[in-house]
């Protein structure tokens, strides 16, 4: 029997709708929802991060900032410039600092990349620093992270490649490359694992795609969730280095082979630091220089730099690796339990989230309101996601205890 909202819930739903409208295609933050009387977010299954990694960051921060003078220096002084911050990511990225652009979150990076490298012809010499606009196409598989559709520059044609529900929105490489051959886009996007469904393409397959697309002007591979893509025994995380951190199956090193490749990395999701707004991208030295010339000088805060310094500490990375493995294992257990609810169809995921179709006639919006009002549980309805036909929600994987709570409440709410 589908969920039907009470009169009180309907009134709250109207107020939530206004806040959602002001947020555009993104979900309102828990802080924004706090303005609605009757709404308190106790469990955030909407935004995506590793809570165990957040705990680790806070443990180090509490110890490092015990002396207020240390915190004062961080707040009072300017942080390092972008080039210096890139040096701090060399070991993790496995490339030269000249190939790294540090951003104020992955969303800023996506906007910078699309605005400067799609439909834009870079100057060939320093005598002419002004880029020129050219007609262009960008091909984006859908459903996807909306900024790849919304941030396309004016005059750029967005070609959407529909992923199929019947295969859980997994990328069909043959169909994808056939679409590329037909459309001849100037830029191609691949999110791996994909958001919102968590579909994953292995390293060998991605290498094949990059080889075929070597003549395409720009290929963007977004690896914001790749730290969750491995198995709990670490089989996908080969070549663990002496620090105890196991690099993932990233394609960052391939920028040397494919100068058209741009790899986007969010540090928010895997390290649980969304509030710090931090990410980076790996690309050709020429493209990094082009972005820095646009004025990205102090775009990362002192707190962001503090976190980047943590990434050079072996003890922090060893502890993080344990947190990562724990999050992956509990993600897999969460999938098993969610899949037992017959009113739901859960897509397998290599991210730290699941795309869930509601099968009993309940709307995604009504389920979101019911869980939020009655239980303080915040989930992501996906009615504004291009490429989804049906009632879908996206739920993040949180701590084991929280995941179990959500499963129990979904059973109580949906099963009669």
Per-residue DSSP letters for 193-244?
S-TTT-----HHHHHHHHHHTTTSSEEEEE-TTGGGSS-TT-TT-----TTS
**Is position 62 within any domain?**
no
pLDDT at 230: 72
**Is the pLDDT at 128 greater than 90, yes or no?**
no
What is the average per-residue pLDDT within 228-234? 64
Average pLDDT over residues 159-178: 97
* 183: pLDDT strictly greater than 90: yes
What the block records as the tokens of 65 is: 């900032």
pTM of the entire predicted model = 0.92
pLDDT (average), residues 105-113: 96
Statement: residue 248 has pLDDT above 70: no
Residue 348 lies in a domain: yes
What is the CATH number for 44? 3.90.1150.10
Q: What is the DSSP letter of 65?
A: T
- Given a cut of 70, is residue 247 above it in pLDDT? no
Residues 201 and 308 in one domain: yes
80-103: pLDDT as tens digits? 999 999 999 999 999 999 999 999
**For residue 121, what pLDDT is reported?**
64
Of 313, 347, 372, which closes a domain? 313
The answer to whether residues 301 and 197 belong to one domain is yes
Residues 297 and 327 placed together within one structural domain of the fold: no
Residue 2 lies in a domain: no
Out of 135-149, 151-165, 233-247, 335-349, pick the least confident: 233-247
Predicted pLDDT at 119: 84
pLDDT at 350 > cutoff 90 = yes
CA distance 415 to 360: 9
**Model pLDDT, residue 25:** 85
Domain end, chosen from 278, 296, 313, is at 313
61 within domain boundaries: no
Judged against a pLDDT cut of 80, whether residue 126 lies above it is answered with no
Residues 309 and 324 both lie in one domain: no
**pLDDT band of 231, cuts 50, 70, 90:** low
What's residue 131's pLDDT?
A: 58
Does the pLDDT at position 416 exceed 70? no
pLDDT of residue 133: 58
Same domain, 26 and 101: no
Residue 243: band (very low, low, confident or very high) from pLDDT cuts 50, 70, 90: very low
Burial class (CB in 10 A: 0-12, 13-18, 19+), 186: buried
Kindly state the DSSP code that residue 29 receives in the 8-state scheme: P
Identify whether 134 is part of a domain. yes
Range of the domain at 340: 7-55+320-414
Following DSSP, what letter does each residue of 147-203 receive, concatenated? Answer: HHHHTSPTTEEEEEEEPPGGGTT---HHHHHHHHHHH--SEEEEESS-TTT-----H
Whole-angstrom CA distances from 268 to 47, 104, 261, 277, 407 are 10, 10, 22, 7, 25
The alpha carbon of residue 334 and the mean position of all alpha carbons in its chain are separated, in whole angstroms, by 20
Quick one: pLDDT at residue 134?
A: 64
96 and 36 share one domain: no
Q: Indicate whether 214 and 291 sit together in one domain.
A: yes
Q: Any alpha helices (H) in 314-414, and if so which ranges? A: 314-338, 364-375, 400-414
Q: Does 313 score more than 70 pLDDT?
A: yes
Say how many domains are in the chain: 2
Please, what is the average pLDDT of the chain?
A: 91
Average pLDDT over residues 332-346: 97
Assess if residue 332 is contained within a domain.
yes
- Nearest CA among 196, 189, 206 for reference residue 168: 196
Low-confidence winner among 240-249, 259-268, 338-347 (lowest mean pLDDT): 240-249
- Flag whether pLDDT at 235 surpasses 50: no
Domain limit, last residue, from 270, 290, 313? 313
The alpha carbon dihedral of 233, 327, 104, 156 has a sign of: positive
Q: What SS3 state is found at 367?
A: helix
CATH code (residue 157): 3.40.640.10
């Amino acid at each position: 029997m589908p969920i039907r909202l009470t009169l009180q819930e309907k009134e709250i739903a109207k107020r939530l709708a206004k806040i959602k409208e002001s947020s555009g295609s993104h979900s309102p933050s828990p802080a924004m929802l706090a303005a609605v009387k009757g709404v308190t977010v106790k469990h955030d299954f909407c935004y995506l991060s590793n809570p165990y990694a957040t705990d680790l960051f806070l443990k180090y921060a509490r110890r490092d900032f015990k002396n207020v003078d240390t915190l004062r220096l961080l707040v009072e002084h300017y942080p390092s410039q972008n080039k210096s911050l890139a040096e701090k990511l060399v070991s993790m990225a496995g490339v030269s600092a000249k190939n790294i652009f540090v951003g104020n979150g992955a969303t800023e990076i996506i906007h910078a990349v699309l605005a400067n490298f799609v439909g834009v012809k870079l100057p060939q010499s320093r005598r002419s620093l002004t880029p020129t606009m050219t007609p262009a196409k960008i091909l984006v598989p859908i459903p996807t992270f909306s900024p790849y559709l919304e941030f396309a520059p004016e005059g750029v044609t967005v070609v959407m490649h529909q992923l199929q529900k019947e295969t859980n929105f997994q990328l069909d490489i043959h169909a994808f490359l056939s679409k590329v051959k037909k459309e001849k886009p100037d830029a191609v996007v691949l999110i791996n694992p994909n958001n919102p469904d968590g579909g994953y393409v292995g390293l060998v397959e991605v290498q094949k795609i990059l080889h075929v697309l070597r003549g395409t002007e720009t290929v963007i591979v977004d690896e914001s969730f790749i730290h969750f893509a491995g198995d709990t025994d670490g089989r996908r995380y080969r070549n663990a280095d002496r620090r105890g951190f196991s690099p993932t199956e990233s394609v960052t090193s391939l920028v040397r082979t494919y100068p058209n490749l741009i790899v986007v990395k969010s540090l928010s999701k895997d390290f649980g630091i969304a509030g710090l707004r931090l990410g980076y991208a790996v690309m050709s030295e020429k493209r990094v220089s082009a972005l820095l010339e646009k004025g990205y000088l102090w775009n990362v805060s002192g707190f962001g730099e503090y976190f980047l310094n943590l990434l050079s500490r072996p003890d922090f990375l060893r502890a993080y690796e344990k947190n990562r493995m724990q999050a992956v294992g509990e993600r897999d257990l969460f999938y098993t339990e969610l899949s037992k609810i017959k009113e739901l169809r859960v897509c397998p995921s290599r991210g730290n989230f699941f795309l869930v179709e509601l099968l009993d006639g309940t709307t995604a919006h009504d389920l979101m309101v019911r869980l939020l009002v009655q239980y303080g549980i915040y989930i992501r309805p996906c009615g504004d996601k291009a490429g989804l036909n049906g009632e879908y929600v996206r739920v993040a994987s949180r701590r084991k205890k929280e995941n179990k709570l959500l499963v129990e409440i979904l059973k109580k709410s949906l099963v009669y």
